[in-house]
Amino acid sequence: MNSSHQYRPSVYFAIAFAITWINGFILAVQSHQGYDKSIVNLLLAYMGPFIAALIMIYVFADKSFRADFGRRIFDLGLINKRYLPFVLFFLPVAMVISIIISITFGQSVEQFRLASEFKIFEGDSILSMLILVLVPVLEELGWRGYGVDSLVSKFNLFESSIIFGVLWSIWHLPVFFIKGSYQLSLLEQNPIFALNFFVGIIPLAIIMNYLFYKNGRSITLIALFHVTANFSAEIFEANQISKCILTLVIIVVAAIIIIRNKSFFFKQKMNLDLCKRTRSTITKN
């Protein structure tokens, strides 16, 4: 974290939310009036965090901050390889465990079938695929490029993770009003399933922030984890009962990580001026 930079979290999140919500609710209106979804509005909605980060980095920050932003995208040496198995396999394995638990409570074995199509937007598998792959990258360029650091500059890591998790959860609100969206289908099936979507994001944010600061603030690593998270939720024909169980599994893992790393999460100030740290120092984490 660049300790010389004066972070402005309120400004950043206000811009990110404004861009996403304005375009998201335009898409909602278009969908209910029978119009095709505007690609421009769709891209702007999902790029809100990234655009906000670019504004904060290129308007309010200096060259060294911009250089650090690029380094955290392209320098794979920031990644501690011992975390890669967790990044790649935790959520797929957690999804399998959740399905197995649901089956023991009488849910269908058919959940282990591979999904016939991705269901981000009903009847639009190509768009759904693009969202599964592209959107996590765009989000993390914003959230980890500026947003999370801006919170950590004001709060300890635990407080920052909870605040970010709540904000990230609420940020998704417009998609619940877009006709044909996966999130709206959750609300129509059962409000509890929609609530699970919101709740599940918070422990996931804790885990992602832990990985982020244990890997030199590598944006690339967290983007990879985010893509894996999206595909883990979509690859099987898992029902919403299993996805509620998945949230419980993620909560348990997040709690274990916090308990095992209390000082890391609860110390008053993160002394992570990683701009000045060498690769060898980072890998010791």
Q: Using one digit for the tens of pLDDT, what is the confidence trace for 198-238?
A: 999 999 999 999 999 999 999 999 999 999 998 888 888 99
Query: What's the number of domains the chain is made of?
Result: 1
Amino acid at 52: A
Does some domain include residue 4? no
Look at residues 5, 23, 49 and name the one whose alpha carbon lies nearest to residue 219: 49
Does some domain include residue 40? yes
Q: Which is catalytic among the residues 5, 139, 140, 226?
A: 139
Domain membership of residue 265 as a residue range: 9-283
Separation CA 115–CA 75 (nearest Å): 35
Q: Which is catalytic among the residues 5, 117, 140, 172?
A: 172
- Structure token pair of residue 118: 């991705």
Does some domain include residue 60? yes
Tell me how crowded residue 270 is: count the other CB atoms within 10 A of its CB. Answer: 18
Angle between helices 191-214 and 240-260 (to 10 degrees): 30
Does some domain include residue 226? yes
Which sign does the torsion angle of CA 256, 261, 264, 266 carry?
positive
Does some domain include residue 2? no
Does some domain include residue 1? no
> Is 117 one of the catalytic residues?
no
Q: In whole angstroms, what separates CA 136 from the centre of its chain?
A: 7
Residues with Cβ within 8 Å of 27's Cβ and at least 6 positions away in sequence, in order, are: 37, 38, 41, 42, 45, 174, 178
Does some domain include residue 189? yes
For residue 276, pLDDT over 50 is answered with no
For residue 112, pLDDT over 50 is answered with yes
Look at residues 58, 78, 88 and name the one whose alpha carbon lies nearest to residue 228: 88
Cα Rg of the chain, angstroms: 19
pTM, two decimal places: 0.91
Look at residues 209, 80, 222, 219 and name the one whose alpha carbon lies nearest to residue 155: 209
Per-residue pLDDT, 267: 84
Does some domain include residue 207? yes
3-state secondary structure of 121: strand
Per-residue pLDDT, 125: 63
Separation CA 128–CA 125 (nearest Å): 5
Look at residues 148, 146, 144, 134 and name the one whose alpha carbon lies nearest to residue 58: 146
> Is 139 one of the catalytic residues?
yes
Per-residue pLDDT, 231: 86
Higher pLDDT, 267 or 273: 267
The mean of the pLDDT values for the chain is 90
Lowest model confidence (mean pLDDT) among 10-24, 26-40, 150-164, 265-279: 265-279
For residue 194, pLDDT over 50 is answered with yes
Cite the DSSP H helix spans in the chain. Answer: 9-32, 39-46, 48-60, 63-74, 84-104, 125-142, 148-152, 157-171, 182-189, 191-214, 219-234, 240-260, 262-266, 279-283
Per-residue pLDDT, 120: 55
